[in-house]
Structure 1
């Protein structure tokens, strides 16, 4: 009830703007053969994704405007439900919680966050991309592990930023998944060339490098390192400073990723890569920050495991900040502490999580759950010769 009230009252409905761009672009492409000269009426914004993304959106041509919105909302809702199930259900089972209650509470908190609200109200594809990548994480330890990498490759072919997850697979020595992801990304891109050779050449030679198509870097909605630097002042060497800052962030990411890999904390590893994607991308609109959500889950789970009140407090504070929409209270031309810390709050939050997000030690081996759903002590899940007095022998 509280979540529904807040969502109904809080300002910021985006009028399905992005899905309007997709819808108009697909119709324009099928009618004229041109993809990147479409501009949504009354705006300066057009299609900025690779041609393969437009190929995936071609079915929109079969729908009217309102059915297209409905399909987009349903797809994002399904992606959100899958993501929450993958993130929250293991915690609920380990702690013996009611799984439906835990899922519902997590869904409310997720729905309140600014990135999720904007993804739905813009009609964006962000949650679908996160689900594709984290689906690969689920496949990696299953009997379907030979399919791991396909989701990451598709996400990278639809939007370039998730391509960092292919580097993630290489760093973590998931060679088969990395090869599958690379082959999938190249194959999907090749399909785009096959269906639209001219628009593909146009994208890879011109559109990709035209940053004016996506809006100004200093826009308060741009919560990337480049956005932060642009708001600090036009007199700064923006491009050089962004390259240096991005290299520093990638070095921190690689170091922490290796640490998470050694600890076998795959959720933390994937979360770190999502954070790095948001930071180094030249444009990270607020709705792109759905990649931050898994890191908040890691933070909350660590607070529960270690019973740390400080982490509980930090977690709720970050939830409040990322749900607030506070970045729009400032203007990009005001070089004040408020603009730096308030107007760039989301990028600072993302960087803080990259640097300080807890990494759990071997979480996959902890807290295995009995059939009753009760939390099980770690020592009881290890095969021990002979039963303990008064207790049946544990099954290894």
Structure 2
């Protein structure tokens, strides 16, 4: 039974938060902020006069693997201590997670008249249980920040919740979509995989945003080259192509097409097979985003592109799978839009719930040492199959959910509720 009073909601949310905290504290697999340790050590080594890509984390062979622009962004780490660096990493990821929930979940709560702060709190607890999110925090990774950067461009293309083309409302007298592309460009310059979103902008004929993203990525990359010319030359001519520096392709945490192929046939290089698989996925992606664009469902187009980036990247560690998050939320949203009691509603919500539970389960690690068997092929690549299934079957919504203006929740009366729904839908940026 749903809590209906403020005290009931506060008590329920407190209990859920405590349970989530206990689970996160006792579950195996804490990563000890390994990646933020790599970033921190690299910056300290670089500012002390060492070569950017010569640093390796103590007791490992892992070093810095991002473009020089990423190291430039991390230079403030040279001014702070280790524990402060960890605190900053956790704080930035938490802020990015809050922005994602605001963009993805809050419009659903508003549409259904749910209590917004309670929904936000419950969604935050559920988000924290996802293995990709747990690992992002525990490693001190940047995935949530990059996802938030990319979705900020969706937010701008949708009208920033305050205006947009055809809405009659602007930011400082300007169409907010003119700034779209900056987030994607910065994310692509920081870590190459988000560059697929530039391709998305081109495929969906967002030419201005694609130009802004390309120019931003190029400018940021040039900044990295000016700051570290030798390191830039080494990265773009050699290190970029050396996947051994990142890790083993066949490692079970690699939930990409290339990872699955490497586990299936470790004695075969598999580059040709991987190339064919990538082309097939890109063809499917192009078809699906065209359908989303035709329906005006921009967010689903972004979600499908995030799924594709995970599939086609040579290495997609489990913590990279935060890019699956928008698709999971949209799958649940599609189910909630169906009539109560309908079979389609049950199927969509069951699929969303099952996908969520599996992505919380760490199930792929069962086959960590048995990746070549049939069980290893199916179970050891479970997250890959979820990602592929979402790319194939994520519904395109005929009336996309857009960020709504701040305002009161819909009234309880049926007539007033119908009037409120007409007004809020007509006020959504980009609605035609």
TM-score bracket relative to the smaller structure:
over 0.9
Residue equivalent to 1:381: 422
Which residue in 2 is equivalent to 1:387? none
- State TM-score, norm by structure 1: 0.93
Distance across 2 between alignment mates of 1:218 and 1:317: 26
- Please give the alpha-carbon distance, in whole angstroms, between the structure 2 residues aligned to 1:380 and 1:160: 41
Match of 1:291 in 2: 323
Q: Is the deviation greater in 117-126 or in 301-310?
A: 301-310
Distance 2:150 2:404 in 1: 26
**What is the SS of the residue equivalent to 2:296?**
coil
Quick one: structure 1 residues 99 and 190, their matched pair in 2 at CA, closer, same or farther if it must change by over 3 Å? same
Compute the displacement of 1:239 (Å): 0.7
2:294 aligned with 1:274: no
How far the C-alpha of 1:300 sits from its partner, in A, is: 0.4
Alpha-carbon RMSD across the aligned residues, in angstroms, is 2.1
Distance in 1 between residues matched to 2:231 and 2:275, nearest whole Å: 29
Given that 1:193 and 1:200 are in contact with CA atoms closer than 8 Å, whether structure 2 keeps it comes out as yes
Contact persistence 1:20–1:40 (CA under 8 A)? yes
2:22 counterpart of 1:22 = no
- For 1:373 and 1:338, how far apart are their aligned partners in 2? 50
Structure 1 pair 203–100 and aligned structure 2 pair: CA distance change class (3 A)? same
The secondary structure found in structure 2 opposite 1:284 is coil
1:1-396 correspondence to structure 2 within 5 Å: 1-140=18-157, 141-142=159-160, 143=171, 144-306=176-338, 307=340, 308-364=345-401, 371-374=408-411, 376-377=417-418, 381=422
Number of aligned residue pairs: give it: 384
Residues 153-191 of structure 1, C-alpha deviations (whole Å, 9 max, x = no match): 000000000000001111111111111100000000000
Please state whether the residue corresponding to 1:32 is helix, strand or coil. Answer: coil
CA contact (8 A) 1:271 1:291 kept: yes
Alpha-carbon deviation of 1:366? 12
Residue 242 of structure 1 and its aligned partner are, at CA, apart by 0.5
**Do the aligned partners of 1:231 and 1:332 also contact (CA within 8 Å) in 2?**
no
Unaligned runs of 5+ in 1: 384-395
Distance 1:259 1:164 in 2: 18
Instruction: Report the CA distance between 1:335 and its aligned residue.
Output: 1.9
Q: What residue ranges of structure 2 are gaps of 5+ in the alignment? A: 1-17, 161-170, 425-431
User: How has the CA–CA distance of structure 1 residues 370 and 334 changed in structure 2, closer, same or farther, with 3 Å as cutoff?
Assistant: closer
Distance apart, 1:381 and its partner CA: 2.0
CA drift of 1:374 comes to 4.7
